[in-house]
Amino acid sequence: MLTLLANTDPRGESFRYPGSLPQAQDHIDFERLRAGLKDAYNVSSAAADVLYTVEEYQQDAAEEARYVAAEYAYDGAEEAREIAAELRREFEQYY
């Protein structure tokens, strides 16, 4: 909204003097502009809150996935060591 307003009046002086904007409306309803900007702020603020909550959820899920993967890798490595030790005991007579 502010970009449109700035593009309409690049020098920032046209709205001060009625009739300075050729072929354009030179009256701004500042009350409606304020209300529109407030609405835009509320919507973007709510969207930011939702995105922040989603980000926290994704970080928690990624941390849990890393924990599960590390636990699985450790358990798998421990199991492999146990099997290797058992096989060594079983076949040590052949070495």
Q: Per-domain residue ranges for the chain?
A: 30-94
Q: What is the mean pLDDT of residues 73-78?
A: 76
Helix (H) or strand (E) holding 8: helix 2-8
Confidence of residue 22 (pLDDT cuts 50, 70, 90): low
- For the record, the structure tokens of 30 come out as 């500042």
Mean pLDDT, rounded, of the chain? 81
Exposure string over 28-42, b if 16+ CB within 10 A, otherwise e: eeeeeeeeeeeeeee
- Per residue in 30-64, pLDDT (tens digit) is 788 889 889 999 999 999 999 999 999 899 888 98
